[in-house]
Amino acid sequence: MRVLVSVDMEGIAGVVHGEDIQPGHSEYERNRSLFTSEANAAVRGVLAYRADAQVLVTEAHAQFRNLLPERLDRRAELLRGSPKPDGMMAGLAADVDAVLFIGYHGKAGTPRSVMAHTISGGCIADVRCNGRSLGELGLNAALAAHHGVPSVLVSGDDTVAAEAAEVVPGMHTVVVKRALGARAAALLHPDEACERIERAVPLALADRDAVRALRFDGPVDLEVQVLRPHMTEHALLVPGMRRTDGCTLRYAAPDFPTAYQVTELIATLAAR
């Protein structure tokens, strides 16, 4: 068995503010430790389910250099650094049996959600595939589904758990904090959060056949809405890219992996 663990930082227990997860701020080093601990909890859960499993941990926050490698469970392999193929989903392949999302957050525009955003908190207002609005959870689960891989568990706040019920029916959820606003939450103790993740992972892996993630077969009509008109300008250099209003870019992708890559490209170019 091969399991991919994609670990983001905004949904980690204890994290409530942008300064908590940015290098150079006083809280960052402590939260790197919490980030690594939740990743380890997921690894332990996988190995409790199947002792001989191969576990890939792929960093999914910012420049993908936040987790403490020396503190990661030595039985896991770490995918670190940027850029990586498929970004937050580096390591995804048809031979992966399941994906776990640890420390995830709500999509851009989600009310009362801790640090909700999509791809880039400073650029992207919405991503729509064939008219369906998706955040990072939905996009990543749909990419996994394209490869026939079930996304079986997500941890984070209660708003991402609610989002999971809409875009990935059958997915298990671990709520490690209850959102009180964009920068406030009622938090589990970090040790309790890790214990709940570790206990939930084997159950989620056992139920992986019940997952029904959103899947896109065939061409995808991609729309990416950015926050300000000037953020569209570099992306318009991409052949086939169109601007349908001041802040919305549209692209006809031949398949979902292409739509996924173009979304990442737009986010990168919008931030320039």
Positions marked catalytic: 117
Establish whether 8 is an annotated binding residue. yes
DSSP strand pairing (98-104 vs 151-157):
parallel
Task: Name the strand (E) or helix (H) holding 36.
Answer: helix 28-49
CB proximity list for 51: less than 8 A, separation 6 or greater: none
Establish whether 136 is an annotated binding residue. yes
How is residue 176 written in tokens?
A: 């490690």
SS3 content of the chain, % helix, strand, coil (to 5): 35, 25, 40
Q: Name residue 154's beta-bridge partners.
A: 101, 173
How far, in Å, CA of 126 to CA of 123, rounded? 9
Q: Name residue 4's beta-bridge partners.
A: 56, 99
Instruction: Pick out the residues of the known binding site for Zn(2+).
Output: 8, 10, 61, 105, 136
Instruction: Pick out the residues of the known binding site.
Output: 8, 10, 61, 105, 136
